[in-house]
Amino acid sequence: MSSDTKTAKDVALTLCLHCHKLNPVSWSVCSRCGGSIHLRKPKSVQVTLAWLITAIVFYIPANIFPVMTTYAFGRETASSIIGGIFELWEQKSFVIAAIIFVASIIIPILKILLLLWLCLSLKLNLTETLKLRTSLYRLTLWIGRWSMIDVFVVAILVALLQLGGLLSIQPTIGSLAFACVVIATMLAAESFDPRLIWDSLER
């Protein structure tokens, strides 16, 4: 990094995250949009870690408990997230099985691990892989909402398959836990401040 690169912080300016206007550091409200401004997101790492722990706690019931129960011809079957994917795979709908596998297994785990690594690397003051970490952060920010697919699939199946005693589907507690995992990871990603990654260059 060349020595003439300057950050907004170096020249005592704060970027308003609401409207991207630069304001003097001493101001607490943006002169253009009136939103509150901070040099860095307040208590960013702590808040991110808190949401991550919440997500991890919810992740356990989300996988242990079934997401829905199917009553078909008097028979009762409970299906979990992983069970549902296997079922789809056996029915030869490979694309859908792959989409749900990626959205509801890979993305949440990857997101939690990535954000944990980002928080840890700040504590360790790592000065390598700055650009990579920022790109990965952008990925977690963008990809988080797609995990909701599984919850919505349950919603649609429950709404549609109410065919008397023949076939009906009930939601179970697993889907609520999974929705909470997704929301907690989204909030975690949002409270993380990637500028802290680059601040390690100054020290």
Partner 1 sequence: MRNLIACEHCDLLMEYPVLNHAQQAHCLRCGNLLMSRPKHSLQLTLSFITASIILFMAANFFPMISAEEAGFKNQMRLLEAAYAFFAYGEWLLGFIVFCVVLLLPFTIMLLIVYLLLPMIFYRRLMPKTNFVARLVFSLQKWSMVDVYLVAMLASITKLTSMVTIELGVGIWAYIAFSLCLSAALANLDKQRFWRYLDKIKCHQILKQQKM
Q: Is the dihedral of CA 45, 46, 51, 55 positive or negative?
A: positive
DSSP letter assigned to residue 105: I
The length of the chain, given as a count of residues: 203
Question: Under rule CB under 8 A, which residues in 106-165 are in contact with partner 1?
Answer: 130-131, 134-135, 137-138, 145-146, 148-153, 155-164
- Closest to 150 in 3D by CA, of 43, 56, 68, 40: 68
Candidate ranges 44-52, 74-82, 110-118, 171-179; the one touching partner 1 (CB under 8 A): 171-179
Residue among 114, 183, 184, 188 that touches partner 1 (CB under 8 A):
183
Candidate ranges 16-24, 42-50, 56-64, 110-118; the one touching partner 1 (CB under 8 A): 16-24
Residue among 11, 64, 82, 109 that touches partner 1 (CB under 8 A):
11
Site string for partner 1, 62-101 (x = CB under 8 A): --------------------------x--x-x-xx--xx-
Written as one string, the DSSP assignment of 110-179 is: HHHHHHHHHHHHHHHT--SSHHHHHHHHHHHHHHGGGGGHHHHHHHHHHHH-EETTTEEEEE-HHHHHHH
Q: Is the dihedral of CA 181, 160, 66, 83 positive or negative?
A: negative
- Establish if 200 lies at the interface with partner 1 (CB under 8 A): no
Q: For the CB of residue 184, give the shortest distance to partner 1 in the complex, in Å.
A: 12
Quote the CA–CA distance of 42 and 34 in Å, as a whole number.
18
- Cβ pair 168, 161 in contact under 8 A: yes
Candidate ranges 19-27, 51-59, 74-82, 108-116; the one touching partner 1 (CB under 8 A): 19-27
Residues that bind partner 1 (CB under 8 A): 1, 5-11, 13, 15, 17-22, 32-35, 88, 91, 93, 95-96, 99-100, 130-131, 134-135, 137-138, 145-146, 148-153, 155-164, 166-167, 170-171, 175-176, 179, 183, 186, 194-195, 197-199
